Amino acid sequence: MPQPKVLILRAPGTNCDAETSFAFQTAGGKPDVLHLNRLLESPRLAADYQILCLPGGFSYGDDVAAGRIFANQIRHHLNDVMQEFRVAGKLILGICNGFQILIKSGLLDADDSEGPSASLAWNDSHCFIDRWVHLQAVEGNCVFLAGIQRLILPIAHAEGKFVARDETVLDQLEDAGQLVLRYTADDNPNGSLRNVAGMCDRSGRVFGLMPHPERFVDPTQHPQWTRLPEIAEGAGLRVFRNAVGYFS
């Protein structure tokens, strides 16, 4: 199959689209960065792509809540297009602000008859946190984490604490295999319940995570790269390779 085409959807305040485009290109994909307004004007543009990515940043300044305005645009104007994208067996990735958008738009199966059952809230510190974290992937059907057990990636967020309505919801999400990426027990930076750093939908083809894999594509992006054992590529690149490889 030819290179899978990747639609990277940006909005005012998005600031990780260039890095994400580079990561997908390095992984063998063919990325295009498109403003959300272009898709709102011509929703059928999405049909030309195999992978959709919502990158990190502060869409619309996070003025209402992190990712809320972007998520409402999807929920009220692009929901049919997004559901068709999913049903067609394509992939959707949300990174940091993109994860906030995915979970608030309902694309991560976090909604039920009572409304959203899970969300991302303010960090326990009530501060913006920018540092590296240790992560552990949970074995399951998440396409993006195939073959990955552990990761070290940077985070940069103020509203990254994964919360759920109650323990029953958490049990349901866990039993469904959706809580697929965790901070290690001694490295939870924001107080996320059950150390959740990333979540997928039931199909494993829609995935959102708070850490930034696009910021660790090249080994030299790690702050200790001169002192660590030599590696061929940054750990985050595997996430993008898995997405591109899914269509090969």
The residues annotated as belonging to the active site are 96, 212, 214
Encoded tokens for 17: 């689209």
Question: Which residues in 113-146 are b (16+ Cβ under 10 Å) and which e?
Answer: eeebbbbbbbbeeeeebeebbbbbbbeeebbbbb
Residues in CB range of 5: below 8 A, 6 or more apart: 29, 30, 31, 32, 48, 49, 50, 51
Structure tokens at 150: 């552990």
